């Protein structure tokens, strides 16, 4: 028997991963305080998250691509972190490894987070 979770509930769960700041990092931060040690660039998120049906099932939330993020520290970017309220690490994902140089800018692709329907 299939288990059903209404889209509205999945959307509420995905809303918990939404943040206000994007951080480009040289490693995966373990918590909000850990972002400072690995951060290469950061910016206030521009644009709104978009909720939609998931690629295979369930629902997904997509953060639009971010452009012109100021690089403050040189290093190799390997992770993108999203935080909120200056205290909470919301989500971390990997990114294509890229060398960043302080003083430049970096762009990101759109980032989607998905919750599949239960089986």
Number of structural domains found in the chain: 1
Structural domain harbouring 48: 7-110
Whole-structure pTM value? 0.91
Confidence (pLDDT) at 110: 96
Q: Is residue 35 scored above 70 in pLDDT?
A: yes
**Which one-letter DSSP state was computed for residue 104?**
S
What is the edge-to-edge ordering of all strands in the sheet holding 21-25?
Answer: 39-44, 21-25, 75-84, 88-100
Residue 1, pLDDT score: 55
The residue among 117, 23, 118, 16 whose CA lies nearest residue 77 is 23
1 domain-assigned:
no
Q: What is the DSSP string of 22-80?
A: EEEESS--SSTTTHHHHEEEEEE--S--EEEE-SSSSEEEEEPP---EEB-S-EEEEEE
Average pLDDT over residues 10-39: 96
In this model, does residue 2 exceed pLDDT 70?
Answer: no
- Is residue 35 in some structural domain? yes
Considering the domain boundaries, does residue 89 fall inside one? yes
Residue 30 lies in a domain: yes
Average pLDDT, the chain: 95
Q: Looking at the predicted structure, is the pLDDT value of residue 78 above 90?
A: yes
């Amino acid at each position: 028997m299939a288990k059903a979770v209404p889209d509205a509930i999945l959307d509420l769960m995905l809303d918990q991963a939404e943040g206000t700041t994007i951080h480009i990092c040289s490693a995966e931060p373990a918590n909000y305080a850990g972002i400072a040690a690995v951060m290469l660039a950061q910016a206030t998120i521009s644009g709104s998250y978009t909720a939609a049906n998931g690629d295979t099932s369930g629902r997904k939330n997509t953060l639009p691509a971010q452009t012109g993020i100021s690089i403050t520290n040189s290093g190799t970017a390997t992770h993108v972190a999203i935080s909120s309220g200056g205290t909470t690490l919301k989500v971390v994902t990997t990114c294509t490894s890229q060398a960043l140089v302080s003083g430049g800018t970096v762009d990101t692709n759109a980032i989607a987070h998905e919750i599949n329907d239960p089986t």
